[in-house]
Amino acid sequence: MRCFDSTFLIDYVRGDADAVGKVRDLVELGERLTTPSVAAAEVLVGAHFRGRRELSRTLEFLDRLEILPFDIAEATEAGRIGAEALRRGTPIAGNDLLVAATARHRGGILVSRDGVFSQVPGLAVETY
């Protein structure tokens, strides 16, 4: 299972060649494509702000993905990850913490260009 973070979602919707190619390759492999509900909400804020065209493209792409919910299991995982990061002296902010928790709890590979995720032990991260 591949789990897309908000950076990836934005890159794909805006036509970034690396992101588009990554989706094409994963579809050809029959990979399960997902995104945390938190990441979906994050990109929808920007899409609504930018207007109808971007919103339409964003919703079209999100409709192709499995949206992973954030519930008590993911909240508990976020608490663990957040405490680990604080102990190391490298706190992880807001949505990134929730996205990491969702992907790690579900055993997914997080697809992102954001280096903050490499700080999360046990989280598989793939760049594009």
For residues 44 and 91, give the distance between their C-alpha atoms in angstroms, rounded to a whole number. 25
Q: Count other Cβ atoms within 10 Å, centred on residue 5.
A: 28
Strands 2-4 and 66-68: unpaired
Tally of domains in the chain: 1
In eight-state DSSP terms, residue 29 is: T
User: Which residues constitute the domain of residue 105?
Assistant: 2-126
Q: Which residues contact 120 (CB under 8 A, 6 or more apart)?
A: 81, 84, 85, 92, 100, 104
Q: What is the pLDDT of residues 69-113, one digit of tens each?
A: 999 999 999 999 999 999 999 999 999 999 999 999 999 999 999
Predicted confidence (pLDDT) per residue in 59-69, tens digit: 999 999 999 99
* Nearest-angstrom CA–CA distance, 111 and 35: 9
Instruction: Specify the CATH number for the domain of residue 14.
Output: 3.40.50.1010
Residue 37 neighbours by CB distance under 10 Å: 16
- Residue length, the chain? 128
Beta bridge partners of 108: none
Tokens coding 48: 């609504």
pLDDT, tens digit, for every residue of 23-68?
Answer: 999 999 999 999 999 999 999 999 999 999 999 999 999 999 999 9
* C-alpha 80 chain-centroid distance: 18
